[in-house]
Chain A
């Protein structure tokens, strides 16, 4: 009885009861396992293998060694889309993190309407970027709301999406708008864990708001900020939906990202082997950045 009552614990058992349990367990996991085999493990390995072939929908599939990677290295479009992706990330990720921290601090205390503000700030997170993009195209158009706003600041009132310098800041603004509510919620949850006594003690010691934030709140948020930095970097490396809808990669490839190049290679030119190579490059890049971020932000853990 005692053995049967604790199936979750580790330990050796045998007999028909254990065999029956194992059979049931495997049976319950089987549907999921088959799907993972077919659509995750299989394609994961195939994706890497394919990058060494000239596979396309019409034929090919011969092993061509490192040819795809050599071609990628000499492809000016790859370097341009890599630059665009990195530039976008450098603008969107810090922007998202800053807005998340600022709004988490502002909505942290219980006051009338705090919940309503939090709900409003989370609304863009649940909104499809394609739908948001349809209205942001108008917001950033020539003579539109954003152009009018920046013309008050002395800039020209031409549309940002048609400008090869301003197109990426415009897309990064959309990225920040759509993501900061998520970071805010994550940080709010961590802020609740800060012991109130600590803050009271800091107050009696005469610490100002900035000192309390810098020496008390920020250290507590460090793991959450690391988590958010990795997550947001990964997702901005994969930015596609808003760009596809708003600019199509233009003007003159000024917003043409890595995933856009992968999409074109695979589904416009049906050059699946080359598309897989870009996918592998994206994977390696993501891993490297996660490692670097771990060294920079997470070094104390």
Chain B
């Protein structure tokens, strides 16, 4: 997420404008844009009044069904005891933070949160750096075996993860990497999708950008650090958001590698709480704690999620 927020800052206006008139101004602007979009559409295609009402009702129903599990998760996590019978427990009172006290005190949730943070953040930095280096070289440098190497990287997307997981685990176990951060992180840094998207992006940049720097007498590392990386900011932000998400939500690999209680990630830990018949409000408060960072990231960097999916089909 650090990449995403760093990317966003230049776009935000330097000084906040007075709130009142600016907000109405922006609202008017949005209304104008909507009207302009509508104007291109013939009246019949916009649908009848009845049609619009049906659409509104259907969408509201679908949105309520979609949001219901989130609402239930939050409200039940704030219930006083394990008394979570339906439907009385869905009322937003009485509420108490009791379950949060339990989950943060008696359980290992803070440690799991730390593990998840280490796993996600180190992987984001590692994957982005390695993919940027490789993507740049694949796009702009000529070397023997370049195409063969690139396509063999890409072909590994086709092999299901579960085929490679068993030998990878056997190898990491032999090397003593079970229950360690390096055993958890290093095998996940080889990310074919990231290399592919990086190469596609660098290819779209004109060669002159890099040549000018070379004529100025910059070394290759300097060119990469000073010229290439700043040019890659948009793709680094989009990809960063997704790599963070994949690792934050990852389950099977952390499950097999983190075997002691202290080396679990949040997802693995919460699944274990669920299986140990821990009271529901306590489990759900753990879920809320694990969900809040993703939700915050989604609120802040939403356009990176949607653009990533619509422009390149990144798997959500």
Report A's interface with B, CB cutoff 8 A: 4-8, 13, 18, 21-29, 31-33, 35-36, 38-44, 46-48, 50, 55, 57, 103, 106-107, 109-112, 117-139, 141, 143-145, 148, 177, 181-182, 185-186, 188-189, 196, 199-200, 203, 227, 231, 234-235, 238, 240-241, 244-245, 248, 259, 262-263, 266-267, 272, 275-276, 278-280, 282-283, 286
Nearest-neighbour CB distance to chain B for A62, whole angstroms, equals: 15
Once the chains bind, are A5 and B207 in contact (CB under 8 Å)?
yes
A273 to B286, CA, bound (A): 36
Most buried by B among A31, A132, A135: A135
Check if B94 is an interface residue, CB within 8 A of chain A: no
Which residues of A sit under 8 angstroms from B214, Cβ to Cβ? 4
A290 to B253, CA, bound (A): 25
Once the chains bind, are B164 and A43 in contact (CB under 8 Å)?
yes
Which residues of A sit under 8 angstroms from B283, Cβ to Cβ? 134
Once the chains bind, are A7 and B141 in contact (CB under 8 Å)?
yes
Check if B201 is an interface residue, CB within 8 A of chain A: no
Once the chains bind, are A240 and B252 in contact (CB under 8 Å)?
yes
Further pairs besides A8-B203, A109-B41, A134-B287: 15, Cβ < 8 Å: A21-B143, A26-B143, A35-B189, A36-B156, A39-B187, A39-B190, A44-B159, A44-B163, A120-B66, A126-B298, A128-B251, A145-B87, A186-B310, A200-B45, A279-B163
A134 to B278, CA, bound (A): 11
A163 to B261, CA, bound (A): 31
Which residues of B sit under 8 angstroms from A35, Cβ to Cβ? 130, 186, 189-190
Nearest-neighbour CB distance to chain B for A249, whole angstroms, equals: 12
Q: Which of A18, A36, A46, A110 contacts B142 (CB 8 A)?
A: A18
Once the chains bind, are A136 and B69 in contact (CB under 8 Å)?
yes
A275/B207 contact (C-beta < 8 A), A130-B267, A145-B86, A145-B87 known: no
Query: Which residue of chain B lies nearest to A280 when distances are taken between CB atoms in the complex?
Result: B163
Once the chains bind, are B86 and A148 in contact (CB under 8 Å)?
yes
Once the chains bind, are A22 and B142 in contact (CB under 8 Å)?
yes
Nearest-neighbour CB distance to chain B for A26, whole angstroms, equals: 5
A267 to B207, CA, bound (A): 50
Q: How many residues of B contact A (CB 8 A)?
A: 108
Encoded as 1 (CB less than 8 Å from any A CB) or 0, chain B from 282 to 294 comes to 0110110011001
Nearest-neighbour CB distance to chain B for A257, whole angstroms, equals: 11
Once the chains bind, are B163 and A24 in contact (CB under 8 Å)?
no
Nearest-neighbour CB distance to chain B for A179, whole angstroms, equals: 8
Once the chains bind, are B72 and A279 in contact (CB under 8 Å)?
no
Report B's interface with A, CB cutoff 8 A: 34, 37-38, 40-42, 44-47, 52, 55, 58-59, 62-63, 65-70, 72-73, 76, 84-87, 90, 130-131, 133-134, 136-144, 146, 149, 152-153, 156, 159-171, 173, 186-187, 189-190, 192, 195, 203, 207-208, 211, 214, 220, 224, 245, 248-249, 251-252, 255-256, 267-268, 270-271, 274-275, 280, 283-284, 286-287, 290-291, 294-295, 297-298, 302, 305-306, 309-311, 313, 315-316
Nearest-neighbour CB distance to chain B for A155, whole angstroms, equals: 16
Which residues of A sit under 8 angstroms from B76, Cβ to Cβ? 135, 138
Nearest-neighbour CB distance to chain A for B178, whole angstroms, equals: 10
Which residues of A sit under 8 angstroms from B270, Cβ to Cβ? 130-131, 134, 245
A134/B309 contact (C-beta < 8 A), A121-B63, A282-B163, A283-B163 known: no
**24 A-B interface contacts by CB (under 8 A):** A21-B143, A25-B141, A28-B137, A28-B141, A40-B156, A40-B164, A42-B171, A103-B59, A117-B62, A123-B70, A126-B294, A133-B274, A134-B73, A134-B283, A134-B286, A134-B287, A135-B287, A141-B86, A186-B310, A189-B311, A199-B45, A245-B271, A262-B162, A283-B163
Which residues of B sit under 8 angstroms from A130, Cβ to Cβ? 249, 251, 267-268, 270-271
Which residues of B sit under 8 angstroms from A13, Cβ to Cβ? 142
Once the chains bind, are A8 and B140 in contact (CB under 8 Å)?
yes
Nearest-neighbour CB distance to chain B for A157, whole angstroms, equals: 10
Once the chains bind, are B146 and A25 in contact (CB under 8 Å)?
yes
Once the chains bind, are A29 and B149 in contact (CB under 8 Å)?
yes
Which residues of A sit under 8 angstroms from B291, Cβ to Cβ? 127-128, 131
A196/B141 contact (C-beta < 8 A), A44-B156, A135-B76, A143-B85 known: no
Which residues of A sit under 8 angstroms from B52, Cβ to Cβ? 111
Once the chains bind, are B163 and A200 in contact (CB under 8 Å)?
no
